[in-house]
Amino acid sequence: MTKTTFVLKRKLSPVYRNLLSEKGFPPRDSDIITTWDIFSKSVENFPDNKMLGWRQIVDEKVGPYLWKTYKEVYEEVLLIGSALRAGE
């Protein structure tokens, strides 16, 4: 078996940014440290916005999107977390 070695030249790609962050990113909220903090803040700010969506497949055809809001997902997360803590 023969070993072949490839030497690749390091290439840099351009930096792509959202037009709203053209001059850098906004300062980070000092209260947000964990992913739970991000999620909780999103629930607080956008409780009725769509968060998780899915489509049912019936007879090999996809149906319309069904959505859960941030608030609905938050309530489910609390129930699941509570059950896990209780050992259920």
Q: How confident is the model at residue 9 (pLDDT cuts 50, 70, 90)?
A: confident
* pLDDT for the residue 29: 78
- Report pLDDT digits (tens) over 26-70: 777 788 899 999 999 999 999 999 999 999 998 888 999 999 999
Nearest by Cα to 48 from 70, 19, 81, 31: 70
For residue 32, report the phi and psi dihedrals to the nearest 5 degrees: -100, 115
Nearest by Cα to 44 from 69, 21, 26, 25: 69
**pTM strictly above 0.75:** no
Q: Out of 12-21, 35-44, 77-86, which region has the weakest mean confidence (pLDDT)?
A: 12-21
